[in-house]
Amino acid sequence: VIEGAVEDLTLMADAKATETVNLTGSLDGAGHTISAVAGVDYVINSTARLIEATAPATISNLVIDGKGVYTDKYGIRGIYTIGTGDVKIENVKILNCTYAINACHTGDLVVVNSTLQGWNSYAGSVANSRFENVKFIDGEFHNFRPYNNTVCKNCDFGAGVVIDLSCLVDGATITFDQC
């Protein structure tokens, strides 16, 4: 559990490592970076998580860099969410990850003033998702795949970004406002 500010952190070169930061509460990265080590296979049969956040959680002012680490069909999740409650991500850059955000918590997801590179997937358990002033950068697989009610305001979907709406749960809507 990390509460407060952290220094730069690199995932240890352990072939069985599955995550580096287990977060409950708030994490203010104070502009520091959490990153993988390029060229190291982190996982045997799962996707590594640079941050696993248990909701409710807030993650801010941080760079998360997966360094493009892929292991067969697996890879690196920048932020993976679990638990019950809301998750807020603010002023965060997630780069070179297979999944930028993989949200599996029950509650709302709010992402503000952030940059996301990699697959962004938000399970049906997430009640509502809101992205404001977010830049999506082309990455792996489906770049933006919402499942639930989603609002995108002032977002930039960069060249090559795929918006896949095939997974929206019945009755869910997506709104693009000034994107």
pLDDT band for position 124 (50/70/90)? low
Percent of the chain with pLDDT over 90: 32
* pTM for the model: 0.84
Are the C-beta atoms of residues 56 and 87 closer than 8 Å to each other?
yes
Identity (one letter) of the amino acid at 69? V
Name the residue with higher pLDDT: 140 or 122: 122
pLDDT band for position 13 (50/70/90)? very low
pLDDT band for position 41 (50/70/90)? low
**DSSP secondary structure, 10-52, as one string:** E----TT--EEEEEEEEEE-TT-EEE--TT----SSS-EEEEE
pLDDT band for position 122 (50/70/90)? confident
Lowest mean pLDDT among 43-47, 113-117, 140-144: 43-47
Distance CA 112, CA 115 (A): 9
* Amino acid 38: pLDDT: 59
* 173: number of Cβ within 10 Å: 10
Q: How many helices (H) and strands (E) does the chain have?
A: 0, 14
Q: Average pLDDT in the 29-43 region? A: 66
- Chain centre to alpha carbon of residue 61: 14
pLDDT band for position 51 (50/70/90)? confident
pLDDT band for position 144 (50/70/90)? confident
Strands (E), 40-125: 48-65, 76-95, 99-103, 107-117, 119-122
* Amino acid 127: pLDDT: 84
> Is pLDDT at 73 greater than 80 in this prediction?
no
* Amino acid 5: pLDDT: 39
> Is pLDDT at 147 greater than 60 in this prediction?
yes
